[in-house]
Structures are given as C-alpha cells and as structure tokens.
A and B are shown apart, each in its own frame.
Chain A
Amino acid sequence: MANTQAMVTSFMGKLMTGTHNFGTGVVRAGTGADTFYAALLLASGTFNAASTNYTGTVGSSAMSGEVSGTGYTAGGVAVTDATAPVATNSSSTAGVAYWTPSASITYTSVTLTTAFDAVMIYNYTQGTAGAYPAVSIHTFGSQTITAGTFTLTMPSNTTSTALIRLATT
C-alpha cells in the first residue's frame, strides 16, 4: 500500500456548504443554505470569470448589463435549492462535488425586448446592496421575450451534468 496524493473529494463538497475558510470569511447566522438568485444578462454584456459580484440592488436597482422590462424585477428570481450538494469519489485521486437548482428558473409574464444570452447565479444571503457574491454565469442562445415566459430548465443533477461541479481528475 502507498499513500496517494489527492484533493479530498469531501473537501470540495464542504466548500460548497461553507465548512472551510482559509482567509477572511463571513459570520453565518445559521447552518442553513444560503439563498441564491438568478439574474438575466444582456447579450451586449461582458460578464465572465472576472465578474465578482452582482452589483445591483435586489428588488430595486438593476445591475449594469442586466435585462430590464415589464414584469422583471431587478436581481432576477430566487433559485430553488431543495437538494444539498453531493460529493462523490470516482477513483483514489478523483472526485466531483456538484449541485444543481432543484427546479427550473422561471421568469413569468415578462417583456424583455433587448436581447439577453446569459444568467448569473449569485448569493443573496451573503451579499449586500451593490455586492452580492457571484457564483457562475451560464450562456445560451440570444433571446427576447414578449408578454411571455422565459424558463431555464436545469440539467440532471449528476456527476457529469450538474449545473455547478468542482472536479478533480
């Protein structure tokens, strides 16, 4: 037998649930999951891996580069999170921690006439007005909506298809 260098898979899972902190973190009010939101981004935007925060004010002031229109509330909609992250080993050196919203993200009865092509997932609970920590940006083909509904259906919550995955190989 020999030891094997590896990132422990449970570590990745516990990053997703706020156990580890190597720097200055936040004081949590409890052990419950944070609330995450999903904001739609204009196709003219330049959001990417360097986009640290959702910089608007949820419910009152849209972020620059975010859609606006009838029926759409600044900040977007809350993400349904009824399924906790999962961490699964695939070998002695590899594993995946993953999470997917437990329901589709739906914007009902909206009119969004300026094209949008991405959604930003961000943390509402750990943020403040103007600085809600971003999690991820997911792109899709450019869309507009007229007096209709825009729905983002989530991929299956598996090791290979979950919406957000931390992986070692």
Chain B
Amino acid sequence: MALVTTTKGEMDESLLEKKEGVVDNDSEYTTWVEYWLDGELVHRSAHVQLKQAVTFSAEAASFE
C-alpha cells in the first residue's frame, strides 16, 4: 500500500486517479505526477532538470 500526501492528508494511492506527464525540450526535461480524487486535484509534484546553462561571455579589448 503506497501512501500519497494530498490536500486531504495521507491517502492510499489505490483510491486516487493518477496522471503523469513528461516535457522534453531544449531547455528542460520535466516530469510531473498528479493525483485526483473525485475530479479534484489533491496532489501535484514536478521534477525539472535544467538543460541550458546561463553563460556570460568575457573579452579582453585590443589597443589596435
């Protein structure tokens, strides 16, 4: 029996409708999971893996 933390407290996963998704693009790889109870969203978690770094360029100027 797996328990899920929800807006209504800990609930048995078997009582809930589970939805999962993936976003995979140049910027990120994201997975999410939702649990619904009688049409109500009671849990949503997301896991984002960043792919793109923030890069600052630097340059030494020339006197020429």
Is B51 an interface position by the 8 A CB rule?
Answer: yes
The CA of A169 and the CA of B59, in the complex, are separated in Å by 8
Interface residues of A in 116-148 (CB under 8 A from B): 136-141, 143-148
Per-residue interface assignment for chain B, residues 13 to 49, with 1 indicating a CB less than 8 Å from any chain A CB and 0 otherwise: 0000000000100011010111000000111111111
Contact B47 A169 (CB under 8 A): no
Report whether A165 and B56 are in contact in the complex, using a CB–CB cutoff of 8 Å.
Answer: yes
Smallest CB–CB gap between A119 and chain B, Å?
9
A164 touches B58 (CB 8 A): no
Among A149, A152, A155, A164, contact of B45 (Cβ-Cβ < 8 Å): A149
Question: Knowing A146-B43, A161-B53, A167-B56 touch, does A152 contact B7 (C-beta < 8 A)?
Answer: no
The interface on chain A, measured as residues whose beta carbon lies within 8 A of the other chain's beta carbons, has a size of 36
Secondary structure call for the B interface: strand
Report yes or no: B32 in contact with A147, Cβ–Cβ below 8 A.
Answer: no
Cα(A146)–Cα(B34), bound, Å: 8
Contacts of B45 in A (CB 8 A): 145, 148-151
Contact A7 B58 (CB under 8 A): yes
Interfacial chain A residues near B48, Cβ < 8 Å: 140-141, 143, 150-153
Sort A-B residue pairs by CB-CB distance and give the 8 closest, nearest first. A148-B45, A146-B44, A153-B49, A7-B60, A165-B55, A151-B47, A136-B54, A140-B28
Interface residues of B (CB under 8 A from A): 5-7, 23, 27-28, 30, 32-34, 41-60, 62
Residues of chain A whose beta carbon lies under 8 Å from any beta carbon of chain B: 5-7, 12, 98, 109, 111, 136-141, 143-155, 160-169
